[in-house]
Structure 1
Amino acid sequence: MLFVPNKLLLEKAMAEGYAVGAFNTNNLETTRAIVRAARELDSPLILATSEGAINYAGINNLKTMAEIAAQESGLPISLHLDHGTSLEIVMRCIRHGWSSVMYDGSKLPFEENVANARQVVELAHLVGVSVEGELGRLVGVEDNISVTEREAAMTDPDQAQEFVKRTGVDALAVAIGNAHGFYKGEPQLDFIRLEQIRARVEVPLVLHGASGIPDEGIRRAVKIGVDKINIDTEVRAAFQKAVASFLAENPQVIDPRKILGPAIKAMSEVVKSKIELFGSVGKA
């Protein structure tokens, strides 16, 4: 297997007290930007691919781009399915050579989430593929949410312990006030809840929706025991800003290479800043 399973990357991170960044990619430019940053900082890396990205780029194209980038970099890189919500997409990625898959049954009743995640684990482990599960419902951007709704969306520490024991997942994504997309206002992470989960769960922990969380909050989460951190929105924003700025200054340019070059550099700078923040510099 060319790609490294998340289990190996995250167990090392867990033992040494840093986190590995999982950066979503949709195309060649983003893949190159992410891998360039990791190579410059000698960091392990998780290339995350959503079902939407697979549908957009084509599963073979996305896999081949990641494969070439991994070969050229010489880094330990995982190719990871992010938020797979069905057995079909999970198995499709496993058959095409992904080294890690996330089964996201967080919106389902607890028992159904457990049963489905356990099935994914049994199948994936047969071929050495790591599995990430999720417990607790990540909302969109955290605005207009009542305290009761906020509490209901979070991961219960006791359920987390039971979920990991019954499913055998290699990593657990938790909801502690984090959200997907840009935050409106200061995100309020429940670090006490995170400490309680860490005390009950032996596998690596994952923080989704980390774009926009202040650096100090990320450092605190890593110190408590978060081992994988997902970044997508900030990389996309860097791409959009760089392209818009270039076109505003150079409206006559129609060469995609010249238009997208600054975007690659901007995305790479974001990824480098996150790798430094997560503490994985020199850990490849």
Structure 2
Amino acid sequence: MADLVRRAESAGAGIGAFNVIQLEHAEGIVAGAERARRPVVLQLSENTVDYHGALAPLARACLAVADTASVDVVVHLDHVTRTDLVAQALDLGLPSLMYDASALTHDDNVAATRSVVERAHAAGVWVEAELGEVGGKDGVHAAGVRTRPDEAASYVAETGVDALAVAVGSSHAMLTRDAVLDDGLIAEIAAAVPVPLVLHGSSGVPDDGLCRAVSHGMRKINVATQLNKVMAAAVRRALADPDLVDPRRYLGPGRDAVADEVARLLTLLAPTSY
């Protein structure tokens, strides 16, 4: 991840980071990245781990998909709140994770995050954290508390994180693409902290908003709901045939739709390869 970030910063590009729920997601995301000739991040959220009942099977599958790709692929554990999952990620060899201690008080958040950073760095693993409140978890789209540049700088210094997700107007799980980001705040935070910024809730941001965010300093762009939307639409079209029962006949079109959208978004975020 550190190498991808350095390359993206040099190119003024955004790194596309896409959430994986099932194997077809991972295959479609990498196919889209190969078509666009751009690196990509495969993300596994704690919610997805809970859905499958364990981290190892899907994580190992994603690592295998990444290993055989013709572009650089990083497998990342996203929004993990439990230290047992952090330990599992390190044991499995995942190179990157996002630790979310936002439910704790500020002091406890700093202490817990610093502890995870020390443990992860000892294993050579890149750590992202979040400061501020990006709305939309559990279906809630209330505006969150925006990240303050001075607090972001202090948080990074105190925890030693490698990247920071910030609250600048986006919201998780949006089905519409009409979120308005605070470009000025993005630029202020980018100038205040020495680590790359991460945009969560990017599915709700229109294309021009994503481009502006990257130009103002956002580096890693997380996308989940947008891929689920295009996959679901393709599956619904396929299942219009009442005699269709083979999952490959409807999940295959869903996977292809994911590949198309990933290729489009990666090219949008990085007009030239890096």
TM-score (norm 2): 0.94
Name the counterpart of 1:274: 265
Equivalent AA in structure 2 for residue 82 of structure 1: D
SS of match in other structure, 1:74: coil
Q: Distance in 2 between matches of 1:98 and 1:280?
A: 28
Partner amino acid, structure 1, of 2:151: Q
The runs of 5 or more residues in structure 2 that have no matched partner are: none
Give matches, 1:57-96, under 5 Å: 57=52, 58-96=54-92
Q: Provide Cα deviations, 1:80-135, integer angstroms capped at 9, x if missing partner.
A: 01101122221221111111010112233221111111111100001110000100
Q: Secondary structure at the match of 2:41?
A: strand
Larger displacement relative to structure 2 (232-241 or 88-97): 88-97
Equivalent residue runs for 1:225-236 within 5 Å: 225-236=217-228
Q: 1:125 aligns with which of 107, 121, 124?
A: 121
**Equivalence map 1:190-205=2 (5 Å):** 190-205=182-197
Deviations along 1:207-248, one digit per CA (max 9) or x if unpaired, are 000002111111111001111000000111111111111111
Rounded Cα–Cα distance in structure 1 between residues aligned with 2:198 and 2:11: 16
* Equivalence map 1:246-257=2 (5 Å): 246-248=238-240, 250-257=241-248
Map of 2:21 onto structure 1: 26
Which secondary structure state, in structure 2, belongs to the residue aligned with residue 261 of structure 1?
A: helix
Q: Identify unmatched segments of 5+ residues in structure 1.
A: 1-5
Q: Which one is further off, 195-204 or 50-59?
A: 50-59
The one of 244, 247, 253 equivalent to 1:262 is 253
Shift of 1:184: 5.7
Q: What is the CA–CA distance in structure 2 between the aligned matches of 1:245 and 1:121, rounded to whole Å?
A: 45
Offset, 1:52: 2.1
- Contact 2:130–2:166, Cα closer than 8 Å, also in 1: yes
Q: How does 1:148-227 map to 2 (within 5 A)?
A: 150=143, 153-182=145-174, 186-227=178-219
**Residue type matched to 1:24 in 2?**
N
- SS for the counterpart of 2:156 is helix
Secondary structure of 1:154's aligned partner: coil
- Confirm or deny: 8 A CA contact 1:20 1:227 kept in the other structure: yes
Paired with 1:128 and 1:280, the residues of 2 have a C-alpha distance of: 30
CA displacement at 1:15 relative to structure 2 = 2.4
| C-alpha spacing 1:77/1:122, structure 2 compared with 1 (3 Å) | same
How far has the Cα of 1:69 moved from its partner? Answer: 1.2
Sequence identity (%): 38
Give the match's secondary structure for 2:204. coil
1:9 aligns with 2:4: yes
| 1:27-75 residue CA offsets vs partner (Å, 9 max, x unmatched) | 1111100010111111111100011222333422212221221122132
CA contact (8 A) 2:171 2:204 kept: no
Aligned partner of 1:227: which letter?
Answer: R
TM-score where L is the length of structure 1: 0.90
After TM superposition, the structure 1 stretch with the greater mean CA deviation from structure 2, 204-213 or 184-193, is 184-193
List structure 1 runs of 4+ shifted beyond 6 angstroms: none
- What amino acid does structure 2 have at the position aligned with 1:56? Y
Which amino acid in the other structure matches residue 96 of structure 1?
L
**Is the contact between residue 42 and residue 281 of structure 1 (CA under 8 Å) also seen in structure 2?**
no
Q: Is the 8 A contact 2:177 2:205 kept in 1?
A: no
Q: What is the CA RMSD across the aligned residues, in angstroms?
A: 1.7
Of residues 254-263 and 228-237 in structure 1, the stretch that sits farther from structure 2 once superposed is: 254-263
Partner-residue secondary structure (3-state), 1:89: helix
Check if 1:35 corresponds to 2:30: yes
In the alignment, what sits opposite 2:134?
138
SS of 1:113's equivalent in the other structure is: helix
Preserved CA contact (<8 Å) 2:66 2:75: no
Question: Is contact 1:19-1:228 (8 Å) kept?
Answer: yes
1:268 is matched by which residue type in structure 2?
A
Shift of 1:194: 1.1
